[in-house]
Amino acid sequence: MNRAGALLAVLLAGCAGLQAPQMDALHVHLLEARPAAAGAAPARDRVLAVSAPRARAGFDTEQMAYVRRPHALEYFANNRWADTPSRMLAPLLAQALEQRFRAVVRAPSAVHADLRLDAELVRLQQDFTSRPSRFELVLRAQLVDLHGRRVLAAMEFEEIEPAPSEDAYGGVIAANRALQRMLARVADFCAERSGGP
């Protein structure tokens, strides 16, 4: 074998031992909730428009946030939401309110509405400063009378749920449990503060 052939054989043998770096799989998660049981409260004879929720800084992203110390957001490397939480929240809010009003539409809409619900996602994070870790969900809601052009009521809702495991998926399970309770509370708030029949 000549020198060039021997060198080529050594290079090929060396390359065969190299492997591509292993990439951890990306896990994509959903915010989900079941609609409340039918007949939870009588429907108001009003049309409610649900605005697209806004999110505070740090939470308007598909990245999944967590904290290990106060005031320091971190994000899971291989786990993310399927969309920004505020965009996933919009249809869930509308669905939770459907049985409480004559109709619920997503704003903006060509349909004339009596009321509008504005929401802001204040916090959506897994907190590892306690054991077990817990998921914190905070939403600020504001109900607006569109005829009178005034705010009928505003309230901040907070739900905290222990995570069943100390990882991102445990946080997802806790987030969806907290969300289920919060949506029921927001629906009650809107029905109670909407006035009218």
Residue 147's CATH number: 3.40.50.10610
* Other Cβ atoms within 10 Å of 122 Cβ, number: 17
Is pLDDT above 60 for 125?
yes
Residues 98/35, Cβ–Cβ less than 8 Å: yes
Separation in Å, CA 178 to CA 25, 122, 126, 160, 173: 27, 14, 12, 6, 9
Q: How far, in Å, CA of 10 to CA of 127, rounded?
A: 52
**Number of domains the chain contains:** 1
Mean per-residue pLDDT over the chain, rounded: 88
The per-residue pLDDT for range 132-184, each reduced to its tens digit, is 999 999 999 999 999 888 999 999 999 999 999 999 999 999 999 999 999 99
Long-range contacts of 89-93 (CB under 8 A, 24+ apart): 89/31, 89/53, 89/119, 89/121, 89/139, 90/50, 90/52, 90/53, 92/31, 92/32, 92/33, 92/179, 92/183, 93/50, 93/53, 93/117, 93/119, 93/183, 93/186
Pairing relationship of beta strands 150-162 and 27-29 according to DSSP bridges = unpaired
Q: How far apart are CA 171 and CA 183, in angstroms?
A: 18
Q: Give domain status of residue 35, yes or no.
A: no
Query: Is residue 65 a part of any domain in this protein?
Result: yes
pLDDT, tens digit, 9 for 90 and up, residues 78-120: 999 999 999 999 999 999 999 899 999 988 888 889 999 999 9
Q: Look at residue 123 and tell me if it is in a domain.
A: yes
Structural domain harbouring 23: 3-30+41-193
Question: Is residue 153 domain-resident?
Answer: yes
Does 126 reside within a domain?
Answer: yes
Residue 65: pLDDT band with limits 50, 70, 90: very high
pLDDT for res 24: 75
Q: Are 112 and 49 in contact (CB under 8 A)?
A: no
Handedness of CA 38, 87, 122, 159 (dihedral sign): positive
Establish if 156 belongs to a structural domain. Answer: yes
15 inside domain: yes
pLDDT of residue 35: 73
The pTM score is: 0.82
Kindly state whether residue 36 falls inside one of the protein's structural domains: no
Q: Is 56 helix (H, G, I), strand (E, B) or coil?
A: coil
Q: Is the bond preceding residue 162 a cis peptide, omega within 30 degrees?
A: no
Tokens (6 digits) for 140: 């600020």
